[in-house]
Copies of this chain bind each other. A is one copy, B any other.
Amino acid sequence: MAKKKSKSKASKGGAGKGGKKNKGAKAIKPKEIKTGKGMNAMEVGQELVRMFNAGQFTEIEDRFWAPKIRSIEGFGVAMAWDGRKAVRAKNHDWMSTHKIHGASASGPFVGATGFAVKFSMDVEDTTNGQRTTMEEVGVYTLKNGKIIQEEFMYGG
């Protein structure tokens, strides 16, 4: 399924290849985007979704976080935490005031620099007992099979 789509998409990338509408204009050449060696964005994305849905959160960190990972929280927070230690501290801090009653990941949506995952979470703020369903998209940037950046974007 994914293969079929990337195929149909591939024609989108073939600017000027078909040539039908190219009235002799100089072709503007696109640049190749690479994530380096190791597992590619499709492979890491699929593994991350599978592991998240299996509750293997720590295993995701150990396996895919680059040592210098940057984690960005979205609108309303708009801050970046740099390095495994800082990101772990942020997550730990958040977990100390929230209880996750249910969570699921869907995707991956696979790009050139990395991939995106859609998360749904049923979360309780344990400081006030308020329970909400959060929808967010995690955007992951990959280098040599490791996540060098993640950004969480919040749904309305």
Residues on A lying within 8 angstroms of B by beta carbon are: 1-16, 18, 20-21, 25, 28, 30-34, 40-42, 72-83, 85-86, 89-90, 92-94, 96-98, 107-113, 115-116, 118, 123, 125, 127, 130, 132, 134-137, 139, 151-156
Contact = CB atoms under 8 A, between A and B. Distances in A.
Given A28-B85, A32-B79, A156 B73 contact: no
A32 to B, nearest CB: 6
B30 A110 contact: no
Copies of this chain present: 2
Contact of A21 (B25, B92, B111): B92
B132 A30 contact: no
Given A15-B93, A20-B96, A79-B31, A113 B154 contact: no
A27 to B, nearest CB: 8
